[in-house]
Amino acid sequence: MSHGARRLALQLDYFMSAQFAGVALASRNGLYRKAGIDLKLLPTCPPGHEAKVVSLAYQRDPTDCTYVGCMEQNTLLPAMLSGRKVTPVAAMFGRSPLCLAGLPGAGIHGRAVAQEALRVGAHADTVELLQRIMPHALVLELDRAQKLDMLKSGQVDAVQVYDVMETLKLAHDLESDPEVLHLEGNAFPEVVLGYAQVLFAPSQALGDPAERQVLRAFLKATFDGWGQAIRDPAGAAQAVLEVQGESDHWVGSKDFVEESVKRCCDYVKLTRKCGTLGVIDQQRWAKASRWLLDTSSSNGCSGSEGAGSIGGVGGALDSTLWGPAEGQVDAHPVSRS
Residue 83 counted as domain residue:
yes
Same domain, yes or no, for 215 and 122? no
In whole angstroms, give the CA distance from residue 243 to residue 200.
Answer: 23
Residue 124 has pLDDT above 80, yes or no: yes
Beta strands (DSSP E) in the chain are: 6-11, 37-41, 66-71, 86-93, 98-102, 119-122, 138-141, 158-162, 179-182, 196-202
The amino acid sitting at 107 is G
What is each CA distance from 269 to 77, 185, 238, in whole angstroms? Answer: 23, 20, 20
Residue 330 counted as domain residue:
no
pLDDT (tens digit per residue) in 70-85:
999 999 999 999 999 9
In whole angstroms, give the CA distance from residue 319 to residue 303.
Answer: 25
> By CB neighbour count within 10 A (0-12 exposed, 13-18 middle, 19+ buried), where does 158 fall?
buried
Categorize the per-residue pLDDT at 172 as very low, low, confident or very high, splitting at 50, 70 and 90: very high
CB within 8 Å of 239: residues ≥ 6 apart: 21, 24, 25, 27, 28, 29
Residue 311 has pLDDT above 60, yes or no: no
The helix/strand/coil state of 259 is: helix
pLDDT (tens digit per residue) in 313-332:
445 899 999 998 766 666 65
Looking at residue 330, what is its pLDDT?
A: 66
Same domain, yes or no, for 217 and 278? yes
Residue 236 counted as domain residue:
yes
Same domain, yes or no, for 278 and 169? no
Same domain, yes or no, for 221 and 272? yes
Categorize the per-residue pLDDT at 337 as very low, low, confident or very high, splitting at 50, 70 and 90: very low
Write down the mean pLDDT value for the chain. Answer: 90
Same domain, yes or no, for 271 and 127? no
Residue 325 counted as domain residue:
no
pTM to 2 decimal places = 0.90
Residue 335 counted as domain residue:
no
Give DSSP secondary structure letters for 58-113: HHH-TTT-EEEEEE-HHHHHHHHHTT--EEEEEEEESS--EEEEE-TT--HHHHHH
Same domain, yes or no, for 120 and 80? no
pLDDT (tens digit per residue) in 208-248:
999 999 999 999 999 999 999 999 999 999 999 999 877 66
Question: What range defines the domain where residue 77 resides?
Answer: 6-95+194-316
Residue 321 counted as domain residue:
no
Question: Considering Cα of 127, then 130, then 136, then 137, what sign does the dihedral take?
Answer: negative
Looking at residue 86, what is its pLDDT?
A: 97
State how far Cα 292 lies from the chain centre: 15
Q: Which of 46-60, 69-83, 292-306 has the lowest mean pLDDT?
A: 292-306
Beta bridge mates, 158: 120
Q: What angle do CA 131, 134, 135 make, to 5 degrees?
A: 70
In whole angstroms, give the CA distance from residue 68 to residue 263.
Answer: 24
Pick from 108, 231, 118: nearest CA to 170? 108
CATH number (domain holding residue 174): 3.40.190.10
Looking at residue 314, what is its pLDDT?
A: 45
Number of domains composing the chain: 2
Residue 240 counted as domain residue:
yes
